[in-house]
Amino acid sequence: MYLQRVPETLPTLLGAPFTPHTLHTLIASGSGIKFSTYQYGTARFYMKSTGKRSDCVTLERLQHSIDDCLSRNIPALQKQFRSLQRRCQQGQPAERALRRLTEDIERSIRCVAKRRAAAPSPHYPLALPVVEKRGHILDVIGRHQVSILCGETGSGKTTQLPKLCLQLGRGITGKIGHTQPRRIAARSVAARIAEELQSPLGAHVGYKVRFQDRVQDSSYIKVMTDGILLAEIQSDPELREYDSLIIDEAHERSLNIDFLLGYLHRLLPRRPDLKIIITSATIDPQRFSSHFNQAPVIEVSGRNWPVEVRYRPLSGEDEDQQERGRGQAILDAVDELAAEGSGDMLVFLPGERA
């Protein structure tokens, strides 16, 4: 068989229209010649069943269309393509295999179009420093495969970066993965992003932690612990579920984070479509940049409100405070602050477990 560009008069002769990414089997009137016709982009092609070798140029066009499919479908489609390519090179019949591959590509491309049409439109709280530098951040992420965002607590990087990725058109061929060091952080961050996108938790935005999985196939943003992402490498070595990954709080340099950063560095050449965004506090972000071949560093200011720092030694001056433990010292500090008025409190402790 062989593949050849269709003359402009052929659709009229065969009496059937061409539609993008659709395969038609047609019989030429009066000639008895069987054609399989299909279109990719603006080029129309047809296959005449003669048993001759297929045109490699057409196969290349078919291969390019695979890049528009869902990321998780690409390995299987590429395997089908290589098998079809071998059959054509050996002069074996390949019309059925071509039809099956075309249908699989069409199905995946329809899923991509459906996700793109249903993608949420992000809105931003203007008071956050990350939002003030939104234009610059979008430009850097759009032009580089790896970006480092450096900002202090309160800059808005954790909640706004997934929305910026959505604005860039990410999360369509795969999910936007967003890692957190701790389970409670993964749940709370997912709930906050879902609220800002005006979507129920588990729909457009979901989270996955140990013993809990509230992510759907239709979700765009998946918040998880770094341990969950590390475990997924075993079943998905190329992380095809994602088209973007945000590694948050990378400055904590836990064992999980270090493993992830090392693995992602080796994965990037195999996944040129994958975007990596690493967020860090202002603790030596150049080390992350150097690890990823001098990736650009975006610096964002942090605190929006004045912070008063009070120091209380673990052992107080009173006799009953001289031998108090860490837990009792925290309770005493909470009592001191509660006496000044109502409000929320956040306690930072070393390690992943108190």
**322 vs 132, more confident:** 132
Residue 29 has pLDDT above 70, yes or no: no
Region 31-40: mean pLDDT is 41
**Predicted pLDDT of residue 150:** 92
**34 vs 166, more confident:** 166
pLDDT band at 32 (very low <50, low <70, confident <90, very high): very low
Per-residue CA distances from 212 to 159, 183, 193, 201 (Å): 21, 10, 18, 13
Region 339-344: mean pLDDT is 87
Residue 202 has pLDDT above 90, yes or no: yes
Q: Specify the range with the lowest mean pLDDT, choosing from 73-82, 237-246, 317-326.
A: 317-326
Whole-angstrom distance, CA of residue 315 vs CA of residue 207: 41
**Predicted pLDDT of residue 4:** 40
**Predicted pLDDT of residue 58:** 64
pTM assigned to the model:
0.76
15-29, 130-144, 312-326: which has the highest mean pLDDT? 130-144
**Predicted pLDDT of residue 56:** 55
Residue 70 has pLDDT above 60, yes or no: yes
**Predicted pLDDT of residue 50:** 40
Residue 34 has pLDDT above 70, yes or no: no
Residue 182 has pLDDT above 70, yes or no: yes
Q: Output DSSP code: residue 73.
A: G
Residue 67 has pLDDT above 70, yes or no: yes
Is the sign of the CA dihedral 57, 62, 68, 74 positive or negative?
A: negative
Percent of the chain having pLDDT more than 90? 55
Per-residue CA distances from 76 to 20, 120, 143 (Å): 22, 29, 29
Is the sign of the CA dihedral 143, 149, 155, 159 positive or negative?
A: positive
Residue 248 has pLDDT above 60, yes or no: yes
Whole-angstrom distance, CA of residue 278 vs CA of residue 130: 14
Q: Specify the range with the lowest mean pLDDT, choosing from 178-192, 241-255, 302-316.
A: 302-316
**Predicted pLDDT of residue 317:** 66
Region 164-193: mean pLDDT is 96
H-assigned helices in 171-254 = 183-196, 226-232
**Predicted pLDDT of residue 271:** 96
Give tens-digit pLDDT for 225-234: 999 999 999 9
**Are the C-beta atoms of residues 337 and 345 closer than 8 Å to each other?**
yes
How far is C-alpha 145 from the geometric centre of its chain's CA atoms?
Answer: 12
**Predicted pLDDT of residue 352:** 58
**Are the C-beta atoms of residues 94 and 87 closer than 8 Å to each other?**
yes
Give tens-digit pLDDT for 271-304: 999 999 999 876 678 889 999 999 999 999 765 5
**25 vs 100, more confident:** 100
Give tens-digit pLDDT for 85-133: 888 888 888 888 888 998 999 999 999 999 999 999 999 998 899 999 9
pLDDT band at 315 (very low <50, low <70, confident <90, very high): confident
Mean pLDDT of the residues in the chain: 82
